[in-house]
Structure 1
């Protein structure tokens, strides 16, 4: 019992430190910047100019906005945009392509804090864009080609606060700060639980046993066995939990900067059990197209994975 309590306390301390001293400062700055750009109309300008360029891969203006949200806000931020697409009459085919893109791109709530661990953000964002566009195109032209292409009259106006005065700017920053605090606090339970489970499995020898079992396969594929733990954590508990485990492993010297960057292509995305569950809850039409979107996302993540490995 004493061992369990010790594990829980250690995991809790690590989770709180990661949430408040790494995740919170990064999210406050990035969310404030994004919300200010949004309020000043800069994002509207960017979306308006990118939308025609990305239309051939199955993305609309709202799809472009979802890409900015996943890369610079958090994995849950595109939920509101997906809901808007559903309510404003976007076709099932466009919704599927946008969802696939979101599944395949890097999530800001994991990628931005992991810069402190040595993650190359420029490389991550570059391959996030390439992988997301590949996923969208694969879904629109291949996996989702049988979906309805019928659209209602689509209103792609982005409704958001306006910052035309000092008070307006301060209000936007305060709302962004509150949103960042909510995201950081909301991450603590999953971080604590995942770190407790991971530490318990490691102490009980389960991770070592699994590593020995998979060693021949991993060796043949030239894959470092140190990736077993963060990979299991990522796909079962989500990107934030993976970030917590990766932080512990980096501090212990079990993961190098090179390995961290080489694995970012398949470890940093919302394509995991919690991420998929959250995103498809945005609406019934989003949930209905998750299968073709997931297949397209697999293509996009594969492209990202190869890109990261070759670049490191």
Structure 2
């Protein structure tokens, strides 16, 4: 027969053990608070506002509903309800965008003691400007979708590309974020592209300048730096890095806002694993850069650069 007294004794010992360690928690909390209170670049305990990453993710989802109408809406769209649903979504987007943009501007203003820049008005103006630019952004994204379809025999339809290609998703987020970057909005553009980076493995800095008919095939491990310039009809594959040369220690401030990343001219193909570095490096129009090639100098138009075949050893 089960001994209930033994079970009760075990439970009391468990409670005493839990209490013994929980009593130590206030001291741990005090230690954390003391550490948070010091002047640190990784603390943000202040009264100034800060953008919400959750709201930015929702903004991206709603922007995708507008840019690709009918694909990602929670309700079915048809010609009868399109105007109503689109109008409602755009209105919600305007409110969310203007608030987050204002918070981003106000955050930098207060945290870094900048002059007042009318963050409220700028938030409304920038939100309206972004929404007003969506038809133009859609037109460029349409060329990206078409280029992906034209160059990929595995693609069965434009729908498949829009629904499932991580490269297109990363490019979509980049094109939205780039518009905000051009407006001088802090924090938001980089936060948005890093969100896409986390989902797709594709890291595109919002400052990069990228032309139409741009395709990232497969995509994982792609890095495109801030001052990269990419022309029209360029295709790159997984693992490609368009980066900066090795920087001297503490050179960040001296090189900030200077050209550090390569220029890729029109009609270039860059195959998987290729690394192209340096602000003075130009890949000429119509060139092909083979897989695993490492380039730190320019090549003229129409050049094909490939690695020598490796020697295999069989044992």
TM-score, L = length of structure 1? 0.29
Q: Which has the larger Rg?
A: 2
Whose helix proportion is higher, 1 or 2?
Answer: 1
Bigger strand fraction = 2
Higher RCO, Cα 8 Å, sep 6+: 1
TM-score by length of 2: 0.29
